[in-house]
Structure 1
Amino acid sequence: MTETPAPMDSGEVRINALEPWPDTVDWRPVSHDLIWVELVRLAILLVIMLGAMVAGWVLVDHWIFGVGLGLVLLFGVWRAIVIGRAVRAWGYAERERDLLVRHGLLVRRLSIVPYARMQFVDVTAGPLERSFDLATVQLHTAAAASDAKVPGLRPAEASRLRDRLTALGADRAEGL
């Protein structure tokens, strides 16, 4: 049972800590092309695993490799279904003092990174991401556990976000 946000005396809305996707935030989704990137990565992994199973089955001729082949195929179908939902769960929101990043299906994760805590911001794009015109923005803080990343952004949006975060981080750090 989810708790409805109740107004506080000051007019603010109380948010349930167990509900990691607050409705009071304007979430921006990542590109749905990230689904294709993840599906290609899955396909590469499946080809390697299926090749190993087939090679083992041919060389050893034991039924266990047939079972392994079936399990790998089952895993591939399950993972392909989950990838679409997982990518749609990613989102980020820029607020006045911090950046929120959400992701996860079974275990939902909400990372809140204050601009003043950011040390530097990376924009990366591997060959597969570049082929789909995507990039990843990675935020680094002093505590590695509080780092956050936003994958599946168009390069122009990734550059805009990097520049904004860098400028806000520098402004907030000067006030410390």
Structure 2
Amino acid sequence: MTTIKSREKCVPDTAERLDLSNVGEWKRVSPRYVVVETVGTIVFGLVLTGAAAALWLLANVQWALYVMGAIVVITAATVAFEPRRVRAIGYQLRQDDLLFRRGIMFTRFVSVPYGRMQLVDITRGPIARWLGLADLKFVTAAASSGVLIPGLAEADAESLRDRLVELAESRRAGL
């Protein structure tokens, strides 16, 4: 009986759980981020296709042709879904935390309390830099809670970084 009572306390009440039905309006990443994702997918597909072609031509392995075909089909399907995947990425600054979501079929929601943020970093890849985009990464003490918001306009990423650092410092200080 004691085990059941202690187990019941471990499971949060429905009222205590994160309510995602009324979270408000999500801020989305830049639509130009589709270009970054598409270029990355195509380059990766070309590298894999080149490896399969080299295997076919140099080692005369016939099944490498089927592998090349599968790589082309998978790359084309991935490129077709890129715009929808990018539209599914969003974030929201709330009272006590930042809420981040991504994914179409397997949706992931991450809530990062401001007081737990230890590092807020901006990174820019070559294609993203050319398009004026940046990725905002923030890390907490928990290794699995690193969150990356990709495809933000550079000015938005910098102002969001400054805002998050300000909120993190004030929450850690207990203000």
TM-score, scaled to structure 1: 0.84
- Kindly provide the amino acid, as one letter, of the partner of residue 156 in structure 1: A
Q: Which residue of 1 aligns with 2:47?
A: 48
Taking the aligned partners of 2:51 and 2:72, their CA distance within structure 1 comes to 13
Q: Which residue of 1 aligns with 2:165?
A: 166
Task: Give CA-to-partner distance per residue, 1:47-68, whole Å, 9 cap, x none.
Answer: 1111112222222333201111
Q: Is the Cα contact below 8 Å between 1:124 and 1:135 reproduced in 2?
A: yes
Q: Does 1:111 align with 2:135?
A: no
Q: Which residue of 2 aligns with 1:62?
A: 61
The SS at the match of 1:96 is coil
Taking the aligned partners of 2:106 and 2:144, their CA distance within structure 1 comes to 17
Q: Pick the structure with more helix per residue.
A: 2
- Kindly provide the amino acid, as one letter, of the partner of residue 42 in structure 1: T
Q: Does 1:133 align with 2:132?
A: yes
Q: Is the Cα contact below 8 Å between 1:21 and 1:102 reproduced in 2?
A: no
Q: Is the Cα contact below 8 Å between 1:30 and 1:153 reproduced in 2?
A: yes
Taking the aligned partners of 2:146 and 2:17, their CA distance within structure 1 comes to 23
- Kindly provide the amino acid, as one letter, of the partner of residue 171 in structure 1: S
* Residues 1-176 of structure 1: pairs in structure 2 closer than 5 A: 21-175=20-174
Taking the aligned partners of 1:66 and 1:146, their CA distance within structure 2 comes to 41
User: How far apart are 1:172 and its partner, in Å?
Assistant: 0.8
User: How far apart are 1:105 and its partner, in Å?
Assistant: 1.3
Taking the aligned partners of 1:152 and 1:78, their CA distance within structure 2 comes to 21
The SS at the match of 1:175 is coil
- Kindly provide the amino acid, as one letter, of the partner of residue 112 in structure 2: V
Task: Give CA-to-partner distance per residue, 1:25-63, whole Å, 9 cap, x none.
Answer: 220000111111011111111211111122222223332
The SS at the match of 2:47 is helix
Gaps of 5+ in 1: 1-13
User: How far apart are 1:21 and its partner, in Å?
Assistant: 5.0
- Kindly provide the amino acid, as one letter, of the partner of residue 155 in structure 1: E
User: How far apart are 1:69 and its partner, in Å?
Assistant: 1.1
User: How far apart are 1:141 and its partner, in Å?
Assistant: 0.7
TM-score, scaled to structure 2: 0.85
Task: Give CA-to-partner distance per residue, 1:113-153, whole Å, 9 cap, x none.
Answer: 11111112001112121011110111111112122111100
Number of residue-to-residue matches in the alignment: 161
Taking the aligned partners of 1:16 and 1:52, their CA distance within structure 2 comes to 48
The SS at the match of 2:118 is strand
Gaps of 5+ in 2: 1-14
Report the more deviating stretch, 164-173 or 54-63. Answer: 54-63
Runs of 4+ with deviation above 6 angstroms: 14-17
- Kindly provide the amino acid, as one letter, of the partner of residue 65 in structure 2: G
81 and 23 in structure 1: CA distance in 2 versus 1, 3 angstrom threshold: farther
